Structure formats: structure tokens, C-alpha cells
Amino acid sequence: MPFARYDVLGIGNAIVDVIARADEDFLLKQGMHKGRMELIDERRAEAIYDAMGPAVEVSGGSAANTIVGLSSLGARAAFVGKVKDDILGRAFGHDIRSAGVAFDTPPASAGPSTGRCYVLVTPDGERTMNTYLGAAQDLHPDDIDAQTIGASAIIYLEGYLWDPKHAKDAFLKAAKIAHDADRKVALTLSDAFCVDRWRDEFLELMRSRTVDLIFANEAELRSLYQTSDFDAAVKALRADIEVAVVTRSEKGCIVINPEDIEVVPAFPVERVVDTTGAGDLFAAGFLSGVARGADDRTCGRLGAMAAAEVIRHLGARPETSLKDLARENGLVD
């Protein structure tokens, strides 16, 4: 494989997370379904913001969180996502670059404002998300730079961004460039409701080998194969793609490859504060291991470690050096 300038390049929604604590009564009053991610328009976004309590604003977006996690693990990381040239857009760019991530996507000068996600965290650590995609959904094939894609060992695609047509075309363009350059393509299914919308297309991406590696949690896997039988879903998944990772919360994860299924335990966590970003940071840890050529178990342990760090505090990005944490746990030299 030719030399790669970046270990992983992520493509996804460029979003600013607005995070606040809330009780379940607030969710009911606002007509929200606990634990779900729902897409909203700008008017609804403003109404939620006016109603919610004190909030913390931090650059987010699923794939962007993963890429920041990879940088914290010492990987060479890049991100492609669309913001508008506004206050939130400039904040997003500053935050991701300050985390050591290459981010060169030109901001939009017109059109919708920068996307944001209102994250309501209940006392049990569960998060309920309301996302206004804004400029993020205007990612276009023209934003995909062939040279940068070809110089990245792994391309990581965010299922959430499969909704807009131009963004979908951008994904497919990036995947083709990557494979032509002998690179790998990974996809996270993102959300069970996202899978409900795009089940057939996600399955086709797997069966056509447009993607080489899938990340899913149990709910997404069951939605993908429309079954409540976990073992049956895993069997179907093995037939559809060579490598897949299924996260199972406190049960850890399973890593599926052509020869075997590796069961990897979760890292112990004394208290779950906020589950926002757990899957994103798991993917960061796992992909950092793949980039280093680690075995499946080590990749899974790195993912579990990164996920455990992020659920101990508010917000979807690490507060400590994941590379140092991995070294303390004997997962890297």
C-alpha cells in the first residue's frame, strides 16, 4: 500500500453540539422521544434553545468526534464537512484544527447557517438529540479532493450524512477514489432510525464492497436485518461484509472477520455521566488500532477504552490524552 499522509479521514456532518442537562418531564413537554435523534428545522431549533437550561457549546458531529478522538490517540487525522462562514462555523473550524485535525473544506458564504445539535442529557446519562443540519447537508462532490482522499489510509463515512443527495454522491465519489488508490473504506450506521430510512442502500454498500468495514450497535444491527434475534442478525452480517464491529454497551463488542468472531469486554466505568459520543469514540479507538496494524482484540480494547473515557464526563470529545491512557493500559508502546 502506498504511503499515507493521513491514517484516517472522516467525512460527516460538521455540527456544533449544544449540551444541557434535562429531566424526563422536559422531554415530555417538548414532545421528544428519549434516546432518539430527530432532525428538526431552524424554527424548531430556536424554540428548543429558548426552552432549554444552561448549555455548553462544543464542536461535534459524529464523524468529527471520531476524528478528534483519533488525533488524541496520536493518529494523523483529517476531516471533510461543511459549515457556513458564520460564528458557529468559525468556532467549529477553530475547535477541530486546535485538536490537531486537518480541516480544509471551504465554508459556504450563503445558504443555511452552520448545523447544530441540541443534546439533552437526563440524570441516567442517556442523551436525546435534536439536530438542525443546516449547512452540513450541503456537502457536495466538489468538496471531495481526490488527492487528499487518495493520501488517506482509511476513509470513515458517517451514516447520518446519507440523507442529502449531494452528500450521498460525495460519499460514493470518495469511496471510489479510495478503492482506486488501494485504501480502505469504513462506515458507521449512526442510528437505528437512520438505518430504518436507508436499510436497502446500506446493505447494498456492504454487499457491493463499496465499504470494507461496518460499525453498528445492537439496535442498528437489529434494524438492518429487521429481527430481534441478535445471533441471526450477526449471522446475516457475516454473509454481507468481511469485517464488522458491533458494540453492545456494558457487554463490550464483537469483531467479525472471515475466520472468527472476537468478543471483547467493555472497560469498567464507575459512573456514567453522558453517553454522547460513546460510539464515536469507540470507532476512534478501533480505527487507531487498525491504522497501527493491531489485531482485532487490541483494536476492540482501544475502542472500549476510548468509549469509557468519554462517558465519564459531559460532552462527546475526550478530556484527557487518549494516547497516554492507551499507554497506561498497555495498548500501545
Buried-state track 31-67, b at ≥16 Cβ within 10 A, e below 16 = ebeeeebebbeeebbeebeeebeeeeebbbbbbbbbb
Residue 247's Cβ-side half-sphere holds a number of Cα atoms within 13 Å equal to 32
β-bridge pairing 56-60 and 15-21: antiparallel
Output the pLDDT for position 312. Answer: 92
Phi, psi of 11 (to 5 degrees): -125, 120
Buried-state track 108-118, b at ≥16 Cβ within 10 A, e below 16 = beeebbbbbbb
How far is Cα 45 from Cα 112, in angstroms, rounded to an integer?
Answer: 13
Q: Which residue has the cell 482509511?
A: 154
Output the pLDDT for position 163. Answer: 86
Phi, psi of 259 (to 5 degrees): -95, -25
Domains parsed from the chain with CATH numbers: 6-12+61-90+97-103+134-328 (3.40.1190.20)
Instruction: Give me 271's grid cell.
Output: 459512573
Residue 52 carries which DSSP code? Answer: S
Residue 39 carries which DSSP code? Answer: E
Output the pLDDT for position 1. Answer: 58
Output the pLDDT for position 2. Answer: 67
Nearest to 67 by CA among 2, 25, 14, 126: 14
How far is Cα 253 from Cα 236, in angstroms, rounded to an integer?
Answer: 17
Number of Cβ within 10 Å of residue 250's Cβ equals 10
For helices 296-310 and 278-292, give the axis angle rounded to 10 degrees. Answer: 150
Output the pLDDT for position 280. Answer: 96
Question: pLDDT per position in the chain (333 positions), as tens?
Answer: 568 899 999 999 999 988 899 999 999 999 999 988 888 998 999 999 999 989 988 888 999 999 999 999 999 999 999 999 999 999 999 999 999 999 999 999 999 999 999 999 999 888 899 999 999 989 999 999 999 999 999 999 999 889 888 999 999 999 999 999 999 999 999 989 899 999 999 999 999 999 999 999 999 999 999 999 999 999 999 999 989 999 999 999 999 988 899 999 999 898 888 888 899 999 999 999 999 999 999 999 999 999 999 999 888 889 999 999 999 999 988
